[in-house]
Structure 1
Amino acid sequence: MIKRLLVPAAGLVLLIGCAQMLGKRADYIKAPSVAPGAAYVGSEACLECHEGYAHDRNNVHMRIAAFEVPGGYKTGCEGCHGPGSAHVEGGGDTEKILRFTEGGLEAEEVAGVCTTCHQVGPHMNWAGSAHAENGVACTACHRVHLNGNKRLLAKKQLDLCAGCHQDVNAQGYFASHHPLKEGKMVCTSCHNPHGTANTVPGMLNTDERVNDLCLDCHTRYQGPFVFEHDPVVEDCLICHDPHGTVANNLLRQQEPFLCLTCHEAHFHAARASNDVATVIAPGDPANTIGPTDHGFQKSFMTKCTQCHSQVHGSDLPSQTVPGGGHGLTR
């Protein structure tokens, strides 16, 4: 009976997922309306007035062949701007052509044009992306005309992302940060700005966990280890902030405060010192001599990794006292 129910249940989940995706696509991707009765006139007619774009022939959009676009869609200028006859006959009336400049198409209409071709691979999840949901148009990041950038970015990638994500950009100036400003990686090394299919926030370039993305570079922490550190296995971001921190190694806090978030003071740090308080007259606080030295606290509450250096996992136990040495006080 259970086996019979599995297939219908899986099919129902798939149908619900598809319905949600179609709903999102309808919200964030919309085909723009072209001028009534407009017909295609070819790119040469466009260049009679827009002669400044004649040098744009090396643009990848101008070099696409007709068989490379889906459904016999037009190529050249009208592949993006729509049929131009009404625009030409109207003396260049900008209301009779698809415009991507300010005051022209809305963000979802721009996406409707771009996703006509860019609908597979890294672009297929645009409708569910945070950028689409926040009304970011394709043209906010990309400049199609007269642009020598390989990906047609409007600016250098780091400057482009920093224009909106100013808080994250500020973290890049902290003492500990990923080498973005040094030019050894870029934002898209970790993020896909066009959206991802996973449920991990931040549009990360991973199909599964955050850890899988981190381990692409930090493979030495992958293990397996005999003694695993539970937060490491669960999520690297529990201890690290990848955009930059004041603490070393991108730690969210300095030691031992970060460690004490989960680990209360154990037998080393809480062990009684030999120099304990000496009571001269019981019941009289004025006649109590307090300890002058806290050797154990100084030694073991300064930096946990002085002893526990392999915090990501190890084949060695944290201590070798049999029978649970954490209970010792001497």
Structure 2
Amino acid sequence: MRRATTVMAVTVLVIAVAGIAGAGTPPLRASHGITRATPVNPARFNQGIQNLRSMYSAQQLEEGTYVGSEFCIACHQDKAGFRDTLHRKKIRTPGPAVMVNDYNQNGINDFDEGLDFNQISSAFDKYKPNAPILSHEGSTYYITIGDLKMPVVIAQGGAGWKQRYVVRVPVTGTPDGMTAGQYLSPIQYNLATHGYVVYHGDHWFDESNEPKFHAGVSAAEVAAGSGGDYSKNCIGCHSTGVKKITQDANGEWRADLWPAGLYQADDPTYLDFDGDGNKDLTNVGCESCHGPGSAHVLGGGDPSKIVNPEDLDEDTADEVCGQCHLRPKSVPNGEHGFPYNETNDTQWIPGRGQDLSEFGTDSAGYWPDGIHSTQHHQQWLDWTHSKHATNPFEKVHCWTCHEPHENTTNDHQIIESIEDDGVTIATSTDNNTLCLACHATHGPFKDITKEMVADYDTNIGVIGATIAAHSHHPYAPDRIMGLSRCTQCHMSKVSKSAIKYDIHSHVFDVIPPELTLDYQAQGGMPSSCAASCHSLKVNVWGFGINPEWGVWNNDFETMNANELMEYFGPGGKWWDTEDTQSVTAQSLQRVAAPGEITVNVNEDDSD
């Protein structure tokens, strides 16, 4: 049933504090951090509130219903930059401004150009003559595999790392002749390389590399033969709340999402995912972290009616991020690839006192040590193994380093400044000021004061000498090799999103070269030294660089690890890894756990 929604034609919605009061709504309290502004169209916002009242009962609104980020931004105008963050660009309606795939870099996306993978050399060569063909007709983008031409209904990503394409499949036996569900196609475009890789090709092609599905296929056959059902595997972390997930008579999974009562007319981040005629709260929104906002909105901004992660206990606070930055299977049957309690048909909701483990079990990809992640969106799992999570003096939260509400001048929404004891420090990972904002005056950096870090350029000599003494490397963190940059060693890129290795570890330790040798039978694993520099960037030992990048049990890496251990340890010339309290020691002592990473660069199964 189509529900009433208010569509905003303005680019930015600005509402006065007094403007949202009406029809029994208490006035907002300016002391709660809400910015007063000149109203642009308060009538539209008030209509949005009336829409909520027409869509839900008073009890539902009081108990907590998802209303959408535009209601939040209407008053918290300083958070309007959230619209431009990657969290808001997980899935979007396909369009010229959204499609970024351009393998020949001529400024025309490959759908518009009609890219035929049968006519070029690519990762899809083994599927010729039935390799995918891209096209664009009217307002619809298509992917054709064999004799099956499928409309692209969702573009996933494209604002960083990669872009994937979600389709519906023409079938028999359904009212509109299309699958009820949406399915991830086998096409992944990587922004860094301007190239394509095959994403779960076995979902679309059989063992003979022939198409699994042909014209006239039934919805039941697609549901049984394709593993890429978006409602089943993905939507839980690519939307703001899921009402329920059901499986229809054809075996297709259907996620019922919360409708958007207020949205911008031209915003591609709001899609009618569940096909009920309403735009839904697709993508991560304010309420993904702050919980359902209806009582807060209708309560005049009462802070007691909304969750602030800062006010949660320390473990639960970081589960706000952990609910998606992990890789789980739902419980109890593992049907879904996101936290979901199948018995109660519910998601984990911030601030409800729920144990995240009651919604999912760990199915993450790890290196053989069982600690360091091989796959992306596992940063919270990494963090749980780190001293940042267990520090008895001050627990470091995700938002200690990352600004969740807007993009910053730093990559990855790294915060721009930290204030400590009245000292404001401009922060960046490239010059170590982010790490020094906390670590100065402690341990190896006890002689660096916070005031020195705040005036980095003046004190770079002392800072550089101190860190170089710790790292045993020259100090040049802002150069391309990142020598003596904290994150090069303590957050090495050993995980994969689009290409190997493009995601920083969040265990915040130095992975010892000893582990490369200890796990040779399991394929080996990277050390921080090798992954950051010594496998590809430098030829210190005189035997070149790794001819098989990403293979950790070849002759090169065993020789490399042996050379590195002479300096790293145990009992190394520069460091000693025998401290039993270190994460490194825990890695060495831990029983090997299953971990995997894709070696074939033409295949990408890292969901």
Q: How does the TM-score come out when normalised to structure 2?
A: 0.29
Q: Tell me which protein shows more helix as a share of its residues.
A: 1
Give the structure-1-normalised TM-score: 0.50
Q: Which protein is richer in strand relative to its size? A: 2
Structure showing greater Rg: 1
